[in-house]
Every structure is written in C-alpha cells, then in structure tokens.
Amino acid sequence: MKRVFTSLSLAALLAFVHTAAQAEGCTKGAAVGGVTGHVAGDHGVAGAAAGCAIGHHEAKKKDKAASAAAAASGTAGK
C-alpha cells in the first residue's frame, strides 16, 4: 500500500512539475539540486524539485535587476 501511495504521489507531482519545467533557471537548479539531494541521502527527487524552485526564483531576481538597471540607464540619458 505504501508503494502504491508513493507511486501515485510521484505521478501527481510530476504532472504539476511538467508545466514548471520550462521555467527559466529550472533545468540548472534541478540538476544541481538532484545531485545534491542524492549525495545527501537518496533524496534526489526532492532536491531536484527544490533546486528547480530556487533556480527559477534566482532567474526572476536576475531578470528584475537587469530590467531595473536598463530602466535606470534609459531614463538617465534623457
């Protein structure tokens, strides 16, 4: 019963993660998180999910900073 529940939970998780997998920063974060989770104690899937979320967050912060810098330099020349 535990194996069935785990399999269904994993399938549901992958169904939701599939749409977020195309997010910027997710692939790199998932790779790093997956390896780290695996090394830390056979938690590769959890590490990949967390890495994807963190990678996406960091990419959004980087884009926001870049757009703010572009806006500041664009208004400074006028």
Measured CA to CA, the distance from residue 66 to residue 42 in angstroms comes to: 37
DSSP 23: S
pTM for the structure as a whole:
0.59
Question: Is 29 among the domain residues?
Answer: yes
Question: Is 9 among the domain residues?
Answer: no
* pLDDT of 50: 92
* pLDDT of 65: 93
Non-local CB neighbours of 33 within 8 Å, separated by 6+ positions: 47, 48, 49, 50, 51, 52, 54, 55
Question: Is 16 among the domain residues?
Answer: no
Question: Is 11 among the domain residues?
Answer: no
Query: What's the number of domains the chain is made of?
Result: 1
4-56 residue pLDDT tens: 878 877 777 776 665 554 567 888 888 899 999 989 988 999 999 999 899 88
Question: Is 59 among the domain residues?
Answer: yes
Q: Domain containing 45: what range?
A: 21-76
Q: Measure the CA angle with vertex 24, ends 23 and 26; round to 5°.
A: 70
